[in-house]
Amino acid sequence: MSKALSGYRILDFTHVQSGPTCTQLLAWFGADVIKVERAGEGDATRGQLRDIPDADSLYFTMLNHNKRSITLDTKNPKGKQVLETLIKECDVLVENFAPGALDRMGFTWERIHELNPKMVVASVKGFGPGPYEHCKVYENVAQCAGGSASTTGFDDGPPMVTGAQIGDSGTGLHLALGILAALLQRQTSGRGQKVLAPMQDAVLNLCRVKLRDQQRLERTGVMKEYPQYPDTPFGDSVPRAGNASGGGQPGSILKCKGWETDPNAYIYFVNQGAVWDSVCKVIGKEEWLADPSFATPALRVNHMKAIFAAVEEWTKTKTKFEAMDILNKFDIPCGPILSMKEIAEEPSLRETGTIVEVDHPVRGKYLTVGNPIKLSDSPTDVTRSPLLGEHTEEVLGQLGYSEEQIADLRKEGVIS
């Protein structure tokens, strides 16, 4: 079966996490992704956070499935020639080098556009144009600069980063979307274009509701769904909201049976207005149904701490899964706090291909997150990440290089 991006060729000049997540998605949609790595060491993540000596790390393998790998010294004049050929043959170049690195290599946008006017050149950078555009950036820097850290955590604690890699993987997703849009526009314009996804901007996009709240705060001085209300005064910027819901329905994380010893015996409970009657009945607080001070969502906001405390008295008598089952019978929105161990063992995620077991010639079997985006006519088959330079000869052969030329490039250290 052909795939959504069959026939598209991606020159994958990415490393670490943000860029590779983008090109991995393109590969899962069927593009031929050729990862160009530095001769000798390759993508630095191959050797980072290793759990098995001399095997590519899980960090690398889990971000580089379904790609081909070639080694190439792109600072060597002969390596540059190979890169030029690749640019002519590919539809998209994706890179996430430090600002200016591609230019210093001699591959400015103008040069690339001259070599292949149809090429889309897609970049992740830490920041867009402005005071920080020359800075190198990693995940947590972006979380801090994009508004996530200042709005995450508890009011009485420091800013906090989140475990979800919204700076790296989040930006990779944004970049992939930009690439697809540019490829669609190319169909009518006939031209490639530059696509830029700055990590600060991508994080801010994901923190959109907090900029909403900043303006609400400036207008009204108070946000009733925040846990600060009504006891703690608000300052002049959006405070950290603990585990409060970011939307119009109040929510909180509540203890479940076993919380004293199990760090994940908790459930997220949403006090949705539409199911208030059911909530009162399930937790045995029918008297609230007749109490005028609890009659509307707007009035109940004034009692939110007491409401969550009462629901928690009930959830503490149930495991998170029992609470989930009971509450869902009444359409009460909630979700168990799942540990990574529980997620890794969840059969339904295996069945949908969201968690996949992959076999690797050096490390053996390991689990990975498969394609979370499901296309009915373009199913994803997750294949293992390439060994460093595994496809160098194959790709150079397809580009027209003879065996002798390839041997010469190897002798000169252009490829390894």
Binding residues for substrate: 247-249
**CB of residue 50 to ligand COA, shortest distance in Å:** 17
**CB of residue 64 to ligand COA, shortest distance in Å:** 13
Tell me, what amino acid is at 1?
A: M
Position 125 contacts ligand COA (CB under 6 A): yes
> What span, in angstroms and rounded, lies between the C-alpha atoms of 206 and 304?
26
Position 12 contacts ligand COA (CB under 6 A): no
Position 101 contacts ligand COA (CB under 6 A): yes
Which CB sits closer to ligand COA, 150 or 200?
200
> What span, in angstroms and rounded, lies between the C-alpha atoms of 411 and 315?
68
How many chain residues are in contact with ligand COA, going by CB under 6 A? 23
**CB of residue 43 to ligand COA, shortest distance in Å:** 9
Residue 168 bears catalytic tag: yes
Count of CB atoms within 10 A of residue 82's CB? Answer: 24
Task: Name the token pair of 173.
Answer: 């997703």
Tell me, what amino acid is at 27?
A: A
Count of CB atoms within 10 A of residue 29's CB? Answer: 20
Q: Which part of the chain contacts ligand COA (CB under 6 A), choosing from 122-130, 249-257, 309-317, 364-372? A: 122-130
**Residues in a beta bridge with 267:** 254, 336
Q: Which part of the chain contacts ligand COA (CB under 6 A), choosing from 52-60, 69-77, 233-241, 373-381? A: 69-77
Catalytic residue among 32, 43, 56, 168: 168
Q: Is 335 exposed, middle or buried (0-12, 13-18, 19+ CB in 10 A)?
A: middle
Q: Do 242 and 155 form a contact (C-beta atoms < 8 A)?
A: yes
Position 74 contacts ligand COA (CB under 6 A): yes
Handedness of CA 294, 296, 300, 302 (dihedral sign): negative
Task: Name the token pair of 294.
Answer: 């609890």
Position 198 contacts ligand COA (CB under 6 A): no
- Residue 397 has phi, psi (to 5 degrees) of -60, -45
Q: Which part of the chain contacts ligand COA (CB under 6 A), choosing from 17-25, 113-121, 252-260, 297-305? A: 17-25
Instruction: State the residues that interact with ligand COA by CB under 6 A.
Output: 16-19, 36, 38, 72-75, 96-98, 101, 104-105, 124-126, 136-138, 168
Catalytic residues, which ones? 168
